[in-house]
Structure 1
């Protein structure tokens, strides 16, 4: 049972402020995903007589990801393909077996630092009649080394494409190795520490009864159509691995008053990707301000960071219209007590016509001030955390009203009411569910806290702050 620490404020009212910090492995705070195609000649793309130079599944997969809005880079020490048509980098090595990949994987990881690895290996082991028990041990060693290098790397482990029937039963050995790969995947997935996904290339080929003629050029290498099947199978898994991607919707108000340049202009953006917005007026219009999922201001161009889906509005006004700029964020105390008179100050607004302006405050508790001066006083009747905003209007044309300013947060404490403040460290790495979620709590009230990582590969570490360091999740505290 954990208890917070009580602090006495200047009026003797007990006020509890508990700071809890979460530590996550923020593994996907990336500007670009680095994808390593890893394997043997099938990764290179050999066998396809219609492909010179070799591209294999990599060409089709590249364009599938581009069309889906991915921001990525194929990485590896090898390069096969026309760089004017796609990214040709990879880590495919013709003739190599699992033991060869295992011997070199650490060097390649340090060189390329991938976020995603596409692993298709074992074909040459079967051709060399290597015992499957040794091959699967080497594949597991590869997986373990990737995990040890960076536990957040998404490992896409493939079941091998099928082989045509051969007198020495290599096709049967191939299927037996696939069964072991399935078992390895299940073991690692159940471990929960491994960010691993199964890519069943074997089943994708076998779904076509004519796979031998439609998808293969020899006993082991796919045709161009076979490599397309591999690309689609990889793509389907990549879409579901959970890397956050966000959409940006940009609107113009009023319609036709201007346009917005978006750089880069993409269907989807990844976590913390930077985007620059530039508002371009048309006709007799001029840019006024941004609004929507963004702090309201008139900076142009404007850079934003994508950490969620966002809708942003570029607001324009006609030269003949009067425009009142957004006032400053109110300043004033960040805390107080019920019944205490608090002073807040805004200001900074101007009229495009040079007319005087007046201000109104939104106190965040459902109350609003009358229009008037830029400084006001207010007292709250109940405990809680409130958001104080201000807006301005022309005293000559009362219809010319600005948008609301960014809010000022103020926490009000009442008699026998305690406030719980929860912080995330690092910011954006996760969320905390507070049950019950309230502005203030009674003495002795029990509260449940549960941490949830935001991104694949992140993990909750511990709680800290005004409690003894605690590794349980969830935990219960008493106010």
Structure 2
């Protein structure tokens, strides 16, 4: 499991949504086996580089295994602050994490709705995705990661969440992050471009 700063893919099953429209769904960063803090340490650079429109987070599984699982909600809140500060127009979808065979994730999951609601009340484009109830431990291949059927269930939940937020499912083009083209000699200059000497 992990996070994905993306235009619409599902962690672990990257091809499911990408097939629908390759132009609109461009993966930016895919992490598997990372903690919230590790993702947080990199997210500002990723967002600066790729300027995503949609961000899907199924995050916290590796924190549950770690030495400080009770601090995971606070780390998630901080990560969301960093994401929404750097990419204020991005639609951020935060999922509750799926059940694990050997660890109880319910305490962590119980904190996620309040975190998401506090960000949304502050005007951030943050949305809750209820993923926990979509799978059971019978959908896990190894007690942690979903099997093919589990990933299909996750894909359905992600798709439904994206479709429920019109701004997330609408194709919005952002201006490119490159300087305007320099006109060839003898042609009219591009509006806003300095004339050539």
* TM-score interval, normalised by the smaller of the two chains: 0.7 to 0.9
Q: Which has the higher helix share?
A: 2
The answer for the alignment partner of 2:79 in structure 1 is 142
Q: Distance in 2 between matches of 1:229 and 1:62?
A: 17
Matching residue within 1, 21, 24 for 1:72: 24
Given that 2:7 and 2:52 are in contact with CA atoms closer than 8 Å, whether structure 1 keeps it comes out as: yes
Q: Distance in 2 between matches of 1:244 and 1:124?
A: 27
CA RMSD of aligned residues (A): 2.4
Q: Does 1:236 align with 2:166?
A: no
Q: Does 1:204 align with 2:141?
A: no
The answer for the alignment partner of 1:35 in structure 2 is 7
Q: Distance in 1 between matches of 2:38 and 2:66?
A: 13
User: Residues 36 and 240 from structure 1, CA distance in 2 versus in 1: closer, same or farther, beyond 3 angstroms?
Assistant: closer
Cα offsets for 1:107-165 (capped at 9, x unmatched):
11011110110011110110124232x2111111111111111211100001001112x
Matching residue within 16, 22, 27 for 1:60: 16
Given that 2:8 and 2:17 are in contact with CA atoms closer than 8 Å, whether structure 1 keeps it comes out as: no
TM-score by length of 1: 0.33
Report how many aligned residue pairs link the two structures. Answer: 169
Q: Distance in 1 between matches of 2:35 and 2:149?
A: 25
Shift, 1:188, TM fit: 1.5
User: Residues 71 and 93 from structure 1, CA distance in 2 versus in 1: closer, same or farther, beyond 3 angstroms?
Assistant: closer
Where do 1:187-336 residues align within 5 Å? 187-191=118-122, 193-205=123-135, 211-213=136-138, 215-243=139-167, 270=171
Q: Which has the higher strand share?
A: 1
Gaps of 5+ in 1: 1-33, 46-55, 77-90, 206-210, 246-268, 273-479
Q: Distance in 2 between matches of 1:145 and 1:201?
A: 23
The answer for the alignment partner of 2:190 in structure 1 is none
Q: Distance in 1 between matches of 2:8 and 2:156?
A: 17
